[in-house]
Chain A
């Protein structure tokens, strides 16, 4: 591929896109609470 300004932009955007999707869908730690039962002590 020739190295010109537009190609550099394209490559940059692809890299950004991949990083974004990767970050978005990698499992995160979450803080859940009161699940397996009814909440509270009622």
Chain B
């Protein structure tokens, strides 16, 4: 096997690091877990010459190695641990040409870890327009590194970068700043106690909660070396920062000239409107409404197409494959189950697209700025707006996006309330039930069904805010008001980057959910088509009506429904029915709810599978639309199952219940405790049960 070179892409947030990553790797990317905007480490492969491959890791954006939030910590942990399997052979520090001074802080810190380092100065095409001139040769010499000017406009630089990666052994790994200069007395003492350790590494470890293989934090604490108090450490960190700034300033004085008369007018003009005391809020609301409107308008065309394609696929399978149990499983179990989720890809993709455009353009930071004060009143941070908005797509990346909230209390509350936001997985459930129980009529030009859907989104949002209000009052955690946020330049989102994001996110959403739905559909189908006992074996003997008087088709339908009720799934469903009866649900819906604790969207697939079994295909062998089958469903007394009362009760259940294992898993990971996900699960589900109970009892 040829050697693979590991490259870490490191840089401040908003420097266009992801664009560089995309340019180097194309679609050869793999994202650990659910993708947020680089909240998790992303990995991609870049082919070099002679069959050598480079593994590129796109690390979360960070301002320095003094990590102050969780995703920054990820970077520090990787860079300190030489034995980590992804420990880089070289680091490419991506910096923004307009903010070189600040970006170089991080550069010098990484360099001090003795990692071979390349400096990529990005957005270099804006230099002229901003009046910036760089003396690259001088900078390379002073910073002891290789510099590449990168841009989104062209790709000439890609070859150059690949060349440097290939010959990374020629890069300098000398340190930039002798750490002991910061405070000789303190650091010399440290050096004497740990003579074999690299001084700067020790310092970084002392400053934060990370261990690295050679020396753990514990070890330092146990040694006779006295760690200073937090405020002392902070003073030293301040000294370090100032020292670095001084050195960088001196270098840039020689290597960079800025003609400030060419400063920005564009940014100031847009900011004047978008952060305006009044218009800022109006514009934000209008953007949100426009997004929702477009999603529903645009998505319906591909959705109809997908719907009919899956129906014909199931028919085709039945006709063309040899008949038998497996063919039935394929057509009635697998294809029906998967079709139930694939149909929602267009809406999910549009949702992800808009959210990624909002984030890439730099607009999201303005919203954070505008809403911080209001969100604080509810115990949240302005930065909670980003997770709450992306929670409309999926709670998982949303919860990961809370990592840049500095205050633990604000972050915890955001994590706990985000699942109330109406995620894309609730959408299939909402749409099918609304279509069943809410009339398709208009009042004052507004469609009842559209109003119902809007109300559900509002209910989710209001519940999230109210719960945070309550949580702020009861959680006994001291809140520290820390909030530092960069206001990035406005950028026109690169279409390619938006495409990658949408593609990756939709793919992982569908693949993750799809695998679960597939597995559950298979199990459900088998449980529903097998059973024991005479009622299952000879259903005809148990038909209560006089067989002589009814048609053959009716006999078949009755037989099928008796069979289903006495199958394994019917047995399970019947035994849990008492729990759901007070909410107005029959045993089939009960099964749907149980299975959707794996993931909400499983509900539709489950009902599709169950209802498909006890309904005979009509004479032409064509599948009937699941919605019509559901509309016909009646209980033993001939009353309809899906009424306004049971429908609304079901909608509210899905609005409040915590039915997503993956979200619970991510909450466990992000809060590092089982306490929060368990509490979240119990409280949300209990709330759902009681609200549905009350609404059904009032409405029926």
Residues of A within 8 A of B (CB): 4-7, 9-10, 13-14, 16-18, 20-21, 24-25, 28, 30, 32-42
- Option from A6, A14, A28, A33 in Cβ contact (under 8 Å) with B73: A33
Q: Which among B210, B326, B672 is the interface contact of A32 at CB below 8 angstroms?
A: B672
If A21-B598, A24-B516, A35-B673 touch, does A41 touch B482 (CB 8 Å cutoff)?
no
> Is residue B89 contacting chain A, with contact meaning CB distance below 8 A?
no
For the complex, count residues of B whose C-beta is within 8 A of A: 44
Given A6-B327, A10-B325, CB of A39 within 8 Å of CB of B519: no
In the complex, whether B207 has a CB less than 8 A from a CB of chain A is yes
Q: A14-B523, A39-B72 are in contact. Are A32 and B515 (CB under 8 A)?
A: no
Cα A20 to Cα B348 in complex, Å, equals 25
B-to-A contact residues, CB < 8 Å? 66-70, 72-73, 77, 207-210, 230, 233-234, 237, 322, 324-327, 329, 406-408, 480, 482, 515-516, 518-520, 522-523, 526, 598, 661, 665, 668-673
Would B325 and A7 count as touching, CB distance under 8 A? Answer: yes
17 intermolecular pairs with C-beta atoms under 8 Å apart: A6-B325, A9-B325, A10-B325, A13-B326, A20-B515, A21-B520, A24-B516, A25-B598, A25-B661, A30-B669, A33-B73, A34-B209, A35-B408, A35-B671, A38-B68, A39-B70, A41-B230
Most buried by B among A7, A20, A41: A41
In the bound complex, residues from chain B placing their C-beta under 8 Å from that of A42 are 66, 68, 234, 237, 482
Closest to A24 in B: B516
Chain B: minimal CB distance from A22 (Å): 10
**Are B598 and A40 in contact, CB atoms less than 8 angstroms apart?**
no
Chain A residue with the shortest CB-CB distance to B661: A25
**How many angstroms between the C-alpha atoms of A42 and B325 in the bound complex?**
64
Complex contacts, A30 vs chain B, CB 8 Å = 668-669, 672
Task: Check A14 against B68 for contact (C-beta < 8 Å).
Answer: no
| Residue numbers in B under 8 Å from A20 (CB-CB) | 515, 519
Query: Which residues of B are found within 8 Å of A21, using beta-carbon distances?
Result: 516, 519-520, 523, 598
Distance from B91 Cβ to chain A, minimum over Cβ atoms (Å): 21
Other-chain contact of B523, A17, A28, A39 (Cβ < 8 Å): A17
Contact status B70-A34, CB under 8 Å:
yes
Bound-state Cα–Cα, A22 to B536, Å: 29
Contact status of A4 and B233, CB under 8 A, knowing A21-B598, A25-B598, A40-B207? no
CB distance from B482 to the nearest CB of A (A): 7
Given the complex, which residues of B lie within 8 Å of A7, measured CB to CB? 324-326
> Residue of A at shortest CB range from B210?
A33
Residues of chain A within 8 A (CB-CB) of B516 are 21, 24
For B207, the chain A residues whose CB sits under 8 A away are 40-41
Q: Enumerate chain B residues within 8 angstroms of A24, measured Cβ to Cβ.
A: 515-516, 661
Contacts of A9 in B (CB 8 A): 325-326, 329
Report A1 CB to chain B, min CB distance, Å: 8
Contacts of B523 in A (CB 8 A): 14, 17-18, 21
Whole-angstrom CA separation of A10 from B332 in the bound complex: 13
User: Given the complex, which residues of B lie within 8 Å of A32, measured CB to CB?
Assistant: 669-672
CB pair A13–B522 under 8 Å, yes or no, is yes
> Which of chain A's residues have a CB closer than 8 A to the CB of B322?
6
Q: How far is the CB of A16 from chain B (nearest CB, A)?
A: 8
In the assembled complex, how far is the CB of residue A11 from the closest CB belonging to chain B, in whole angstroms?
8
**B672 in contact with A40 (CB, 8 Å):** no
Bound: A17/B598 CA distance, A: 13
Q: Please state if A17 and B69 are interface contacts (CB–CB under 8 Å).
A: no
Contact at A17–B482, with CB atoms within 8 Å? no
Give the Cβ gap from B441 to chain A, nearest Cβ, in Å: 42
Interface pair B672/A35, CB less than 8 Å apart: yes
- Please, which residues of chain A bring their CB within 8 A of the CB of B69? 39-40
- With a cutoff of 8 Å between Cβ atoms, the chain B residues found around residue A36 in the complex are 408, 672
